[in-house]
Amino acid sequence: MVKVLCLACLFLGMPLSAFPQGDTARASQAATLLSRYIQLASVTGSEKGAGVFFSGLCKSRGLHVKVFSDRSDSYNFSASLYPLESRKPNIVLLNHIDVVPVAGNWQHAPFSGRVADGMVWGRGAVDNKGMAIMQLLAVADLVELASTRDLPYNVTILSVSSEEAGGALGAKSIAENHLDALNAVLVLGEGGAGVSGILASDPQKRVFGIEISQKSSLKLRLSTKVASSGHGAVPPEAYANKKMVAALGRLLDRDADIRVSAPAALMFEALGKHERGLRGFAMRHPWLMKLFGGRTLREEPILHALVTNTATVTNISNPPTSPNQIPQRVTATLDCRLLPGTTQRSFIRGLRRTLRDKNIAVEVLSGSRPAPYTAPDTLFFEALCQAVTQVYPNALVAPILFPASNDNSYFRARGIPAYGLLPLYLKEELLRAIHNKDERVPVASLDSGVAVYRQFLVSILVGKQQPPRHTL
Ligand SMILES: [Zn+2]
């Protein structure tokens, strides 16, 4: 989801002294900690320094830290209310230590962690160090409670490396090797966020999407070789680039099949209740989307991506040649995102049919494993919805299918329920800054995010709910 607005931006023009004392102290504490965390640059593959800092911070707040891997190119650890050896059913708050590289000219140096204009600036402010700091402050508030009462659940902050590179040295490794130690009954990671502009009939409505499922990714390389004549002055009837461009044209012009998966149907149902007119009717009866056809839906790229398998041409290349030479080989790479329920095999079969050229080879570069969705009919989901609306009154909370991928799917694939929510309400310009220049987060929003986590955890830990049976 792309369009976001921040509740806390209502306060942005106000000096910090305008906040109640407790909130001011907590917000500035979050900003100070986040600033220090940002200053430890941790572009994927160099997470260790930042990871050691954050695990030390967790330890200093009374959490039980367990380091799963400590390597120069990755660092993964958990920080829990109770030691993992307690074997309590565990609510895992997932975050990632790594950040994407710096791009563009920043107003404040990207690893300065500068606090200015009511914002904390820097790479990772939102994605994902801000989330980690919010988790820490919420869980640290519960340390005393956990020491005086035998709570029904453990709560663990799980900080991992390499998310931005697909998670192989982070969440994937944890899910494969340490799942039993974690004893997780829920993973709550990144995913949706607070956005506006979602409902056409109420564009100001703040909508928090909780990710319950995501598309799986598949990266493909297409290649072909044609032994044609070589001079560009006399083009042959068939040559490599012509064939590849024609095949890609067929792919990009195709009307992709519209398919409303179960998690997308849940999302449309929840949003459709608040949408008026034809759009609302179509959301409440998503089979109607088929009637619109892929071509019409293309005008709404996010909606289109949520009901179709997509293929984006991210590279086309030839061996080096001079401008008057006809290259005899060409490759193209495709970034494909598959709907829940679509297998890599069936997608590639359909792709070959669309390309209509037997001489184009299709090679799988990488792919994520599809995972079942986590139904939103759990006590955890309900508690999360309530926590969001307590902190952001009048917001709408809805389950969503996430069009990209993140670490949550490694846990879903192993039967662990997982939801994805960044409990922040961000303006559109702040959302655009993620993975871009001038990434920043409002100081006041950090406090709201801490409050969402805390409300959620308190309702689960001291509510009447009994822990569900362990899902493994
Ligand atoms: Zn992230």
In terms of domains, do 236 and 277 share one?
yes
Q: How far, in Å, are 151, 249, 279 from residue 459 at the CA level? A: 12, 53, 36
Total of domains in the chain: 2
Using CA atoms in the order 50, 56, 59, 64, what is the torsion angle rounded to 10 degrees? 60
Can you tell me which residue has the tokens 């204009």? 117
User: How close is the Cα of 127 to the center of ligand 1, in Å?
Assistant: 5
Residue 394 in this model has a pLDDT that exceeds 70:
yes
Per residue in 120-129, pLDDT (tens digit) is 999 999 999 9
Centre of ligand 1 from the C-alpha of residue 1, in Å: 13
Q: Is there a contact between 371 and 409 (Cβ–Cβ < 8 Å)?
A: yes
Instruction: Specify whether 32 is located in the same domain as 165.
Output: yes
Q: Copy the structure tokens of residue 240.
A: 């490599």
Nearest to 152 by CA among 88, 102, 108, 206: 88
In a domain, 324, yes or no: yes
Distance CA(223)–CA(360), nearest Å, equals 5
What CATH number is attached to the domain comprising 286? 3.30.70.360
Q: Are residues 288 and 161 in the same domain?
A: no
Mark whether 195 and 61 lie in a shared domain: yes
- Same domain, yes or no: 249 and 281: yes
Residues 259 and 331 in one domain: yes
78 bridge partner residues: 66, 158
The enclosing domain of 91 has a CATH number of 3.40.630.10
Domain limits at 84? 7-212+374-462
Please check whether residue 2 lies inside any domain of the structure: no
**Please, what is the average pLDDT of the chain?**
90
Give me the helices (H) in 94-201, please. 129-140, 143-148, 171-177, 179-182
| Angstrom distance (rounded) from CA 356 to CA 134 | 51
19 Cα: distance to centroid of ligand 1 (angstroms):
29
Tens-place pLDDT, residues 189-204: 999 999 888 888 899 9
Final residue of a structural domain among 367, 398, 418:
367
Instruction: Report the separation in Å between the CA atom of 296 and the middle of ligand 1, taken as the mean of its atom positions.
Output: 31
> Residues of the chain with pLDDT > 70: what percent?
91
- Residue 172 CA to ligand 1 centre (angstroms): 15
Q: Is residue 408 part of a domain?
A: yes
**Beta carbons within 10 angstroms of residue 435's beta carbon:** 14
Would strands 154-160 and 329-338 be described as parallel, antiparallel, or unpaired?
A: unpaired
Q: Tell me, in angstroms, the distance from the centre of ligand 1 to residue 295's CA.
A: 31
- Give the containing element (helix H, strand E) for 35: helix 21-39
Last residue of a domain, one of 367, 382, 416: 367
Q: 363 and 226: one domain?
A: yes
Q: Which residue has the higher pLDDT, 283 or 454?
A: 454
Last residue of a domain, one of 367, 388, 412: 367
d(CA 215, CA 194): 20
Q: How far is the CA of 406 from the centre of ligand 1 (A)?
A: 7
pLDDT digits (tens, 9 = 90+) for 323-364: 999 999 999 999 999 999 999 999 999 999 999 999 999 999
Cα(287) to centroid(ligand 1), Å: 32
Output the CA 39–ligand 1 centroid distance in Å: 17
pLDDT digits (tens, 9 = 90+) for 428-464: 899 899 999 999 999 999 999 999 999 999 999 998 5
What is the distance in A from the centroid of ligand 1 to the CA of 45? Answer: 15
Structure tokens at 88: 């309590």
Per-residue pLDDT of 2-50, as tens digits, reads: 222 222 222 222 233 333 334 556 668 999 999 999 999 999 999 999 9
Q: How far is the CA of 131 from the centre of ligand 1 (A)?
A: 9
Q: CA-CA distance, 132 to 86, in Å (whole number)?
A: 23
